Chain A
Amino acid sequence: MVRYVLKRIGYMIITFFVIVTLTFIAMKLLPGTPFKTQSRLSPEQLAQLRHYYGLDQPIPVQYVQYLWHALHGDLGGSFQYGMRPITTMLAEKFPVSLDLGLEAIILGAIIGILLGIVAGIKRGTFIDYGSMIISVLGISIPSFIFAVFLQYYFAVKNQWLPVAEWNGGISYHILPVVALSVAVIANVARFMRTEMVEVLGQDYIITAKAKGISSTAVVFKHAVRNAMIPVITILGPLTAAIITGSLVIENIFAIPGIGNQFVESILTNDYPMIMGTTELYAALFIITVFIVDILYVIIDPRIRLTGGDA
C-alpha cells in the first residue's frame, strides 16, 4: 500500500511538472502579445514594459524563474487586471466555482444513485427504460445547450427564477446547478444500474434471500451498499466533466468563478492568468483521481494491491 501510494505521488509530481512545462511552452509560442492592443506605445515604452514583466529575458531563464516563483506560490500578476497577483485572484474566485461544482456533484450523485437503484431493481420494466432514456439524454446533450434552454424557459419566458448572478441566495443557484448536474446524474445512474444488476445476481444475495430476509433489507443492506463502491471510480472523470461544464455554465449564468475568468483571460491573451488557471485545473484533476484511487482501496478490502506491478 505504502509503495503504491508513493508511486502514485511520484507520477502526480511528474504529470504536474509536464503540465507546467507544456503550459509555459504554449504561452511562449502564443501569437500576439498582451501589449498589442495599445498601439500608441512607442518602441521605448514597449521595451520598458517588456523589461518590467521580464519578457526580455531568454526563454530558459524565464522558465526557471517561473518555476522558482511558482514553487513559492507566486504565479505572477494578471496582465488584464493591472498585475493583481494570480494567486489572490484564483483564491478569491475558487470558492465560488467549488461551491457550484460540489452542489452539482452532490445533487447529481443523489439523483443518479436513486435512479440507478430503481432501474436496477425493476430491470426490464417501464421504470428501467425511462431512467435509461434519461441517462442517454443526459450523457448526449451538452450541458451548455441544456443551460441555455433552462435559462430561456424558467428565467426569460416564465420568470420563475432569476436569469443570472450568483450571490443572491438559493434561487440563484438552482438553474446553474441543475444544468451542471445533468451529466453527473446521467453517468452515475447508468453506472449504478449496471452495478446493481451485477450485484443482484451474486450468490450472497441469493443466500440472503434464502435466509428469509425481506427483499427491502436485501436491497438496502446487501445490494446497494456493494453496488455503490465502484461508483466512486467515476468521480475522477466526473470532476473533469464538471470543470469542462463550469467554463460555459459560469459564462451563461454570469457566475464570478474561475471558469468565467478562464474564458475571459483566453480571449484577452492574459498569459499568467491562463497559466495559473490551467495549472489549478490540472492539480484539481490529478488530486481528485489520486484520492479516488486511494479511497477505493480503503473502502473495498477485496481489492488487493500487488506491490510489484500495481
Chain B
Amino acid sequence: MMKMPNNDITNDMFLPADIDTTQSEKISRQSLSFWKDARKRLAKNKGAMISLVIIIFIVIISLIGPHMNNYGAYKQNLHLVNLPAKIPVLEKISFLPFNGTEHGVDIYEQRHIKQNFWFGTDDLGRDLWTRTWKGTQISLLIAVIAALADLVIGVAYGGISAYYGKHVDNVMQRIVEVLSGIPNLVLIILLILVLQPGLLTITIAIVSTGWISMSRIVRGQMLRLKSEEYVYASQTLGASNSRIIFKHLVPNTSGQIIINTMFSVPSAIFFEAFLSFIGLGIRDPQASLGSLINRAYGVFQIHPSQVLFPSIVICLLLICFNILGDGLRDAFDPKLRK
C-alpha cells in the first residue's frame, strides 16, 4: 500500500462533481412492463418452454390426426378387432411397439391384413389412432371450458365478495366455507348421477367445485389491493364500482389468476379421465382419453398395447401442464423479481 504523506489536505485537491440534472431521473434498470418481465422469465425456463412446445404439438396433432387416415373414429369392423399397432417405417425399430406383433406373433400376417393401423384397433375394430386424437380433442375441450368457467365464476365471486366487504363478504365467505368442506369428488359424482353423463355434464360437475379456489385467491388479492392509493384515487374521481373492479383490481390480480387457471386445466383433465374410468364419463361411441383407457383396460390382460397410447397422451398432457403452471408461477411471482 502506498504511504500517504502526512500533509494537509487542501481544497484544490478536490473537484466539484459533475452533476447532470437531466440524468438524475434516469432509471438504471431497463424498464420492463409486468408482462414483458414475466414473459422473459418464462422464456428462460427450459422445462416450461419444452412443455409448452409439447402441448402445442399435441393440440395440433389432435386436430389433424383424425384426418390423416380415412378409417374414421366410429366405424366398426369385426374382421379387424384388437390389432396391435403398426407403423410402416417405425416397425423396423425393435424396441418400439409399432411392429404389429403381439406376444411374438405378427397378427397382421396371421390374419392376412394389408392395412396398417398406427395405434392398432380396439375390441370393435375401430381405429385407435383416430380415436385417441378425437379423445384428446374432447379431453382438452372439457379442460379448457372448465378452466375458463372456473375463471369467470371465481373472479366474479371473489371480486364481488372482497370489493363490497362487510355483510356481503361475510355471507359469501360462509357459503364458500361450507362448500369447501364437501369433498369435491362427492359433489362431482352426485351432479353427474343427476344430470346424466355427457360432455356438458362433466364440465359442469368439474366447475361446480373448481371455482372455489379461484374465488379465494381473487378475494385475498383484492382485499390487499383495495386499500392501495390508486384505488382510493379512482374512487375519489367518481369511478363506478364495476369500473374499479374490472379496470384496477382484476388486472392487478391477473398474474395469480393466470397461474390458477393453468393449474385447473390438468385437474379438469384428470377428473374427466377419472370419471370415465369409473364409468361415469363420456359415453360410447364418443371417446375421451379416460373412456379409451377404461375400454382398453377391459381387454388389457390380453392386449396390453391398447391402453398404452391414450395413457401416454394423457400423462404427457398432465405433466406438461403442471410444469408450465410451475413455470408461470415462478415467472409471475413478484418476490423473485430482482
Contact = CB atoms under 8 A, between A and B. Distances in A.
A289 B318 contact: no
A248 B274 contact: yes
Nearest to A19: B182
Nearest to A290: B181
Contacts of A121: none
A263 B183 contact: no
A291 interface: no
B127 to A, nearest CB: 22
A289 B184 CA distance: 14
Interface residues of B, number: 38
A140 B322 contact: yes
Given A145-B293, A148-B311, A281 B274 contact: no
Interface residues of A, number: 42
Contacts of B185: 240, 243-244, 247, 281
Mostly helix, strand, loop or mixed at chain A's interface? helix
Contacts of B37: none
A144 interface: yes
B307 A148 contact: yes
A53 B299 CA distance: 39
A55 to B, nearest CB: 17
Contacts of B323: 136
Contacts of B270: 142
Interface in B172-219: 177-178, 181-187, 189-191, 193-194, 196
B319 A140 contact: yes
A152 B304 contact: yes
B314 interface: yes
A142 B277 CA distance: 11
A30 interface: yes
B178 A141 contact: no
B300 A14 contact: no
B93 interface: no
Contacts of A251: 278
Given A18-B178, A26-B194, A145 B278 contact: no
A109 to B, nearest CB: 20
B315 A148 contact: no
Contacts of A31: 196
Given A11-B177, A243-B185, A281-B186, A148 B319 contact: no
27 contacts: A11-B177, A12-B181, A14-B178, A15-B178, A15-B181, A15-B182, A22-B190, A26-B193, A29-B194, A30-B194, A136-B319, A139-B322, A140-B322, A142-B270, A142-B315, A144-B274, A145-B293, A145-B314, A152-B304, A240-B185, A243-B185, A248-B278, A278-B186, A278-B189, A281-B186, A285-B182, A285-B183
